[in-house]
Amino acid sequence: MKFYFPDSQDLVSPTYDFINDEYSPYRVRQRDDVYAHQAVTPIPYDGILVSKAVVDGSMKGAGKYSAPQRERLYRLGVRNFFRLPDTCSTIGDCGAFNYIDEERPPYEVDEVLDFYGRCGFDAGISIDHIIFGYIPEESDAEPESAWVERQEISLELAEDFITATHAQGARFEPVGAAQGWGPDSYARSVAELQKMGYRRIALGGMVPLKSHEILACLRAIDEVRTPETGLHLLGINRVESMEQFARHGVTSFDSTSAFRQAFMDDRNNYHTATDSYTAIRVPQVDGNPALKRLILSGHVSQAEAIVAERSCLRALREFDQEETALEEVMSALATYEALVLGPKKKSYLEYYERTLSYAPWRTCPCALCKKHGIEIAIFRGSERNKRRGFHNLAVLEAKIRQLAFA
């Protein structure tokens, strides 16, 4: 089972100063900052997935790349741009989530071929149109006409795509995108894509589905899938079900969930092989928008906030060096939380106490935890938060590796 990490230009600065919370004045982001595969050992994924919508933008506006970054990607190619090791492979896709509200995908086959070819991807996924709806096998419900139309659009574009790759002698592997609204419709998509000549098929639109629903679709696909056809799950990360998925022809998947949970999840921010912990929120007085609003409105004293913030950071670092008792750290955190959140907001103190009691970063083998210690468990700014996300990717990679040898 191979894991691909979708790119969204997530990098960290190796020279970031955690004590003063500032970057080097000589830092050049794209040149000096590093990706997860450069920051973590072993590399926490088998490859990366890059969407055209992220690079070039779509109907929702500009992508994540600046104009110079975009030009550099096209000039250098995906492998050199990302400074990828030989062991990492690459997949390009269109980023269908970015145009989900449109009647048709905004891209033409030729421009997608140009994107994949000029960037030098190992594989490229055909243009698809997401169907967000599910009808179980036992239901007599009829699909919405828009769902049927989107499936036909996806199949029509897939046929044009593979025909064009052969005609132009494309060097990347064409991957067919299958869309559906239930087991039978996904099986139909896979059958049609195989007839076109695809031997690698990406299943899209499954993100909202429960694991048992995905399995129902995979079982239906088994009835039509040829032995040489491998399946890729787009946007799916269900480690507990991956062994079952693999039995039904799934050979790869991509997901950002482990990374994003580091700073998007309410509680499960720091992952371990067997558990997850809440990161300790110490918002920056001068960098947190919500806190800045409280200060500007007069609800919070800036001077008090700065003192409380510094007290928290000092206590946490002393705790990590075993120079301060847990009770003293919790007292500092309680003071700052009361100041920032007020009496009506949810308290995280009991979760912080659990995190600090177990101190999972002390026993973590990943290079980031060994280097940064407790800093990686502090919820504060993108440099700490993304490093914690990179750590989560390393944990996910280890879990997948264990499955492979189980």
Please tell me whether residue 189 adopts helix, strand or coil conformation. helix
Please tell me whether residue 24 adopts helix, strand or coil conformation. coil
Counting every residue, how long is the chain?
A: 406
Find out whether 233 and 251 touch, Cβ atoms under 8 Å. Answer: no
> What is the Cα–Cα distance from 147 to 132, expressed in whole angstroms?
8
**Marked catalytic residue, from 10, 33, 56, 254:** 254
Helix (H) or strand (E) holding 212: helix 211-222
Residue type, 337: E
> What is the Cα–Cα distance from 319 to 265, expressed in whole angstroms?
25
**Catalytic-residue membership of 160:** no
List the structure tokens of 19.
Answer: 């004590």
**Catalytic-residue membership of 101:** no
> What is the Cα–Cα distance from 181 to 305, expressed in whole angstroms?
51
> What is the Cα–Cα distance from 12 to 40, expressed in whole angstroms?
11
**Marked catalytic residue, from 7, 33, 56, 93:** 93
DSSP codes of every residue in 220-271:
HHHTT--TT-EEEETT---GGGHHHHHHTTEEEEE--HHHHHHHHSSS--EE
Q: Which residues have a catalytic role annotated?
A: 93, 254
